[in-house]
Structure 1
Amino acid sequence: MQATIFQAQSSYKTYSETAQDSIKKSALVKGLGNGYIPTKYFNFDLRYLIKYNQYEGVRTGIGGVTNDTFSEKIKINGYGVYGFRDHRFKYSVGSSFRLNKKTNTWMTLSYTDDLQETGSTKFLTDKRFFQFFEPRLLNIDLFHKHITKAVAFEHQISNNLNAETEFSVNKIEPTYNYGYVTSNGILNTFDLSLAKFALQWSPFKSSNISETGLKDTKNEFPLVTMQYTKSFNDVFKSDLSFSKLDFRTIHKIGKNKDNLSEITLVAGIAKGDVPLTHLYHAYPNNINKETIMQRFSVAGTNSFETMFFNEFFSDKFATLQFKHFLKPFHISERYKPQMVLITRYAIGDTKQPEKHQNVTFGSLKKGYTESGFEINKLLFGFGLSFTYRYGAYHLPEIGDNVAFKFTFNLTL
């Protein structure tokens, strides 16, 4: 009888330990997939470990954020990195305070001294995005320095609607020779006081707790995001007054991840005294070199592969991207390459390009088109991409319209 009880307890302990190990393993894999190495009180952020771009060269450092074991009401985050080509140290420090658990309301204070790509747009409501390898970053050369002091609030209005707002004071300094013409003269550096308000809506989103105890989100698409930005003149010595309205929607058609279509629509309009740093590009990803093989690099996730860097800037624009993922080729149980068909379209314009001194760029008012395909997961997550530029912005030399690159897709 005692032996039977002992065996039952032993079996229960083994099952319990196995379940706990499974949960810990799932949490670790999910953490790594999100770009974290979790420890007891602090999660190290893999995004800052090592990167490369044309301005900084190798960029390396360390960063992270406290986790729930440290505190469920307070988060402390930060990072420090160094660029070996520009010989400059960048950093950010911040802390978040939970104001309401039920509505997931947080207040965040932060101070950042870093670089940002000129012409890029960041939505406040974007979830944390991590890639082991960031393709576009390798080729970017147009950055501006910014020192940003910000206070932000995050609030979950409902399970399907999130809101974020931020007020920041920014000191902007382009790393390239640039001047913006105003009624008071030409500005080479400028101060901006910005207020942002963003909403993200996912009408069919539903969440539940899985067997591992981790939150599982389903039916997240379509995902609709809107953001309004206002720069106030003469507020905290701000130099320029302008406003921006940005919109993005992402929709996926098909329930099987190995055979689906993805549609992404992005649009934006800016009015007022808008410097080049805060205009729009269409996420180009083509290096300014002569031959196809010299331009051979890494294809991005949602970038225009045949559009050259700094070729176009706009104060109003729209892009439409369509991807169709074909059923993987079942060569063997472990070797299943997948083809993706891609078409991209962009249109835009700039009212007063003469205000932007020492830079030259074109207009997208005729409409830019490219199409191609990817064959992913050919070897160790690597694949190949071929894209062709046609239509109104087709170039005289055939080779200049072609982008041949490799892709990288790795999932945990």
Structure 2
Amino acid sequence: MIFRKFFFIVFTALIGGSTKIKAQEQTIPAQEIIKKTILLKEGTTVKNFEFTAYNKVIVTANPELIKGKIDSIFITKRRKKTLKKIDSSEYNFKKIISKQHLYQTEKISQYSIVNRQNKEIILATRMAGFKEPIYEYFALHLQPLTGYEKKFTLAEKDFISPISKRGLTQYDYTRLENTILNQRKIIVIAFKPKASNKNNKLSGKLYIDEKQFNLAKLELQSEGIINVKAVHDYQYNEEKQFWLPLKSALTIKKGKNKTPIKIFGQLITFDNTEDLFDPEVKRTVSDYIEIKSKTNYYKLRTDSIKKIFRDGISVEVSEKSTEKREAIWQEHLQDTIDLRSNPTYVSIDSLVEAKRIENKITIGRKIIKGYYPLSFFDFDLRYLFKYNNYEGIRFGLGGVTNEKLSKDYKIEGYLAYGTKDGFFKGMISNVVRLHKKSETWLGVSYKDDVSEIANTNFEIDKKVFKIYDPRPFNISTFYNHETWRGFVESKIIPKTESVFQITQSYIEPKFNYSFENHGKLYTDFRTTLVTASVQWNPFSNYMQTPRGKIEIEKRYPKFTFQFTKSLPGLWRNNFDFGKIDFRFDLQKKFNSNHKILFLAEAQYAFGEVPLTHLYNHSPNNLNKDKILKRITFAGRDSFETMYFNEFFSNKLAFFQLEHQFPKLYISRQLKPVFSLVTRYGIGDLDHKERHKDFAFKTLEKGFMESGFELNQLFKIVGFTAFYRYGPNQLPNFEDNIALKLSVQIDLGFNN
């Protein structure tokens, strides 16, 4: 470390003070200059600064490029041309775009950059047509902020930075003629990806200060299915001897694509392209559309910068951001004269209100989570219909009160009926909010329902909305439980969600089973349990909005912890036991659109544990002798070749590795996702003799299966095949094979 500091001081002095070296630098190759820039980046870059930024994004087109002609479309019938219709779409489009933009949004933000950590506080925002903005928009990554990031992001796509050690292996550099910026000599270096790299299509120019070796200007461009160009201008700060951000501009246009392309969370669609440069090919409206983003930076400060509070929030939307404060807007609009801006707001506001688009977006957000709002009540769509072998067809109705009734109090509940068992089930819950920003809620509930045996879930896991949940279809072993629950849910710890609860349950297995404990057989029993469940996402980025906290950038790995312990003697608790559960979730997506998913779970139950609270390894196969009779629906992270109730454990380790390939574009209707999957589980069971009248095996030798998934083969339906091998392989070859249908719905909101 001492040697590196000494070397840096000497090297900097030589650069700044030796005219001999200055003369030699004219001949220094481009790659050597990049190496120097990388070497000095840590020492010369101002690590801490603040600034205010005004950003405006418009979706528009240049009316001068649009001919605006009216076409006549003919059809030929019996060698005779007949007029079918008049196409005036281009004429109408030019008429509209000459007066206004298609869409626009603006924001004013306060940025803090401390030790390369960024935080944005949105002070004011207005989004055409919306009284309350679509907060997810603020999570979009359009372009790099400082130019010194390890990865450059252009229009939501990541590229390796050319000013990085990895960049030296990815790009070819060419030195161009020097130039002058802010009366300082600037070295201009062009870069482009090496010919062997087909996935990286980033190119551009780096303007590097000849003395300080930091960025004075940055130009980036990427061409493909969309064409992106970004320009970053910096201003030299004499006091700090460093270039600080001044302004940036981004332009996105249509590229070459065979199918319609949706970008920015499907907000913008570009139609398919035949050939933009062929005059014989009729151009569509989307050929002219472009997205422009411009940002101006003000009030830059480098002294007395406060440390970023470690709350895990990278973007914070002020409660007053949507208020009409003309003073703050006028301060930043002096250099942004645009005659088409005001008509855009007026037109879009009227359109959104007339079509009730804002209301439709609110409904859409809730449907994705599994709810449909009606007045002050959100009906829960997950309770409407289910099926399993014990209840038969299960009909239900339930939901939760929403913010129209109260923002600080909720009543939730449901009522369900099984046609096969003939019983009603239900739940009622009352919850009150204790703290808004940390989303801390205190609640109490009562539930009378059935649950699958030995299928311990993490309490923190949200109940995912599935139009059809295939795995419970063939389950027949359930237990009934009447449970009182007191709980606290909170996000007060940065980058975590947590649940703390105490429950008292009366449990009655609905199958032939008894549990021996201290010489007594139990066919039903009571448990009093205290549970702490925490989900920790240390690498994710979050946004704080007036509506709550949103995970805007899902990053891996993610960790989940859960601890459960019975309380002997309290509320007639029968057994003394505990459980420790851990989950590790890792996903890695590559620029080639390949994706690796790795899941690991470790679970341990100790003490006097009845079968209902053990682990069953999530089986999903029917115990039938023919392959075709075993065809059902594939589950998620479940053993497809393991029979229901085949193995039980109180110690369990589970591993799953999946390689997901890019979508196969067979045709516009046929775009399956192909994956290779391998699963391994191993377990053990203490005191197997305590579990009476129920036959099962243990898994000391491990369980292995591998196969493939071909999801979304025909819209939402796919096909999977798995093979069971290893110590627990079955004697008959075909018994080790599991063929399944898969149901997977892509709503376009996946990470």
TM-score bracket relative to the smaller structure? over 0.9
Residue 249 in structure 1 maps to residue 581 in structure 2: no
Does structure 2 retain, via aligned residues, the 8 Å contact 1:209–1:216?
A: no
Does structure 2 retain, via aligned residues, the 8 Å contact 1:145–1:172?
A: yes
Which of 453, 469, 473 aligns to 1:134? It is 469
Moved more, 172-181 or 148-157: 148-157
CA–CA separation in structure 2 for the residues paired with 1:143 and 1:266: 23
Equivalent AA in structure 2 for residue 311 of structure 1: E
Task: Specify the alignment match of 2:480 in structure 1.
Answer: 145
Task: Specify the alignment match of 2:557 in structure 1.
Answer: 222
Alignment of 1:191-340 (within 5 A): 191-208=526-543, 215=550, 217-254=552-589, 259-340=594-675
Question: Which runs of 5 or more structure 2 residues have no equivalent in the other structure?
Answer: 1-98, 100-339
Does structure 2 retain, via aligned residues, the 8 Å contact 1:23–1:213?
A: no
Residue 16 in structure 1 maps to residue 349 in structure 2: yes
Residue 85 in structure 1 maps to residue 415 in structure 2: no
Q: CA deviation at 1:350?
A: 0.4
Q: Partner of 1:342: helix, strand, or coil? A: strand
Deviations 1:15-55 (A, max 9, x none): 01444644433332332222111222111111100000010
Residue 116 in structure 1 maps to residue 451 in structure 2: yes
CA–CA separation in structure 2 for the residues paired with 1:250 and 1:216: 16
Residue 46 in structure 1 maps to residue 346 in structure 2: no
CA–CA separation in structure 1 for the residues paired with 2:625 and 2:612: 27
Change (3 A) 1:253 1:10: closer
CA–CA separation in structure 2 for the residues paired with 1:280 and 1:349: 10
Does structure 2 retain, via aligned residues, the 8 Å contact 1:53–1:141?
A: yes
Deviations 1:75-94 (A, max 9, x none): 11000000000000000000
Moved more, 235-244 or 198-207: 198-207
Change (3 A) 1:64 1:258: farther
Q: Partner of 1:137: helix, strand, or coil? A: helix
Moved more, 119-128 or 254-263: 254-263
Q: Which has the higher contact order (CA 8 A, sep 6+)?
A: 1
Does structure 1 retain, via aligned residues, the 8 Å contact 2:386–2:395?
A: yes
Q: Partner of 1:157: helix, strand, or coil? A: coil
Does structure 2 retain, via aligned residues, the 8 Å contact 1:33–1:411?
A: no
Equivalent AA in structure 2 for residue 177 of structure 1: N
Task: Specify the alignment match of 1:25 in structure 2.
Answer: 360
Equivalent AA in structure 2 for residue 64 of structure 1: G
CA–CA separation in structure 2 for the residues paired with 1:148 and 1:258: 46
Task: Specify the alignment match of 1:72 in structure 2.
Answer: 407
Question: Number of aligned pairs?
Answer: 406
Task: Specify the alignment match of 1:164 in structure 2.
Answer: 499
Task: Specify the alignment match of 1:101 in structure 2.
Answer: 436
Which of 354, 364, 370 aligns to 2:705? It is 370
Q: Partner of 2:584: helix, strand, or coil? A: strand
CA–CA separation in structure 1 for the residues paired with 2:719 and 2:341: 55
Does structure 2 retain, via aligned residues, the 8 Å contact 1:107–1:153?
A: yes
CA–CA separation in structure 2 for the residues paired with 1:221 and 1:257: 18
CA–CA separation in structure 1 for the residues paired with 2:500 and 2:517: 29
Deviations 1:177-230 (A, max 9, x none): 1110011410000000010011210001112379x9994521243221111101
CA–CA separation in structure 2 for the residues paired with 1:36 and 1:315: 36
Change (3 A) 1:48 1:200: same
Change (3 A) 1:331 1:213: farther
CA–CA separation in structure 1 for the residues paired with 2:697 and 2:705: 17
Q: CA deviation at 1:293?
A: 0.6
Equivalent AA in structure 1 for residue 349 of structure 2: S
CA–CA separation in structure 2 for the residues paired with 1:85 and 1:283: 24
Q: CA deviation at 1:399?
A: 0.9
Equivalent AA in structure 2 for residue 271 of structure 1: F
Task: Specify the alignment match of 1:406 in structure 2.
Answer: 741
Task: Specify the alignment match of 1:395 in structure 2.
Answer: 730
Q: TM-score, normalised by structure 1?
A: 0.94
Does structure 2 retain, via aligned residues, the 8 Å contact 1:328–1:336?
A: yes
Q: CA deviation at 1:65?
A: 0.7
Change (3 A) 1:256 1:354: farther
CA–CA separation in structure 2 for the residues paired with 1:146 and 1:256: 48
Q: TM-score, normalised by structure 2?
A: 0.52
Task: Specify the alignment match of 2:398 in structure 1.
Answer: 63
Moved more, 325-334 or 359-368: 325-334
Q: Is the helix fraction higher in 1 or 2?
A: 2
Does structure 1 retain, via aligned residues, the 8 Å contact 2:495–2:542?
A: no
CA–CA separation in structure 1 for the residues paired with 2:592 and 2:677: 16
Deviations 1:292-334 (A, max 9, x none): 1111000001110000000000011010011111111112234
Deviations 1:72-112 (A, max 9, x none): 10011000000000000000000111011122111111000
Change (3 A) 1:215 1:273: closer
Q: Max radius of gyration: which structure?
A: 2
Q: CA deviation at 1:157?
A: 2.8
Equivalent AA in structure 1 for residue 348 of structure 2: Y
Equivalent AA in structure 1 for residue 734 of structure 2: G
CA–CA separation in structure 2 for the residues paired with 1:257 and 1:188: 56
Q: CA deviation at 1:377?
A: 1.0
Deviations 1:212-269 (A, max 9, x none): 9994521243221111101122210111110110111111111679531111111110
RMSD: 2.2
Does structure 2 retain, via aligned residues, the 8 Å contact 1:94–1:111?
A: yes
CA–CA separation in structure 2 for the residues paired with 1:324 and 1:193: 42
Does structure 2 retain, via aligned residues, the 8 Å contact 1:317–1:347?
A: yes
Change (3 A) 1:95 1:258: farther
Does structure 2 retain, via aligned residues, the 8 Å contact 1:287–1:295?
A: yes
Q: Partner of 1:294: helix, strand, or coil? A: helix
Deviations 1:306-365 (A, max 9, x none): 000000000110100111111111122342111111100000010111100001111111
CA–CA separation in structure 1 for the residues paired with 2:473 and 2:345: 52
CA–CA separation in structure 1 for the residues paired with 2:659 and 2:362: 31
CA–CA separation in structure 2 for the residues paired with 1:225 and 1:86: 35
CA–CA separation in structure 1 for the residues paired with 2:603 and 2:344: 61
Q: CA deviation at 1:401?
A: 0.2
Q: Partner of 1:396: helix, strand, or coil? A: coil
Change (3 A) 1:179 1:23: same
Does structure 2 retain, via aligned residues, the 8 Å contact 1:159–1:205?
A: no
CA–CA separation in structure 1 for the residues paired with 2:592 and 2:688: 43
CA–CA separation in structure 2 for the residues paired with 1:75 and 1:165: 18
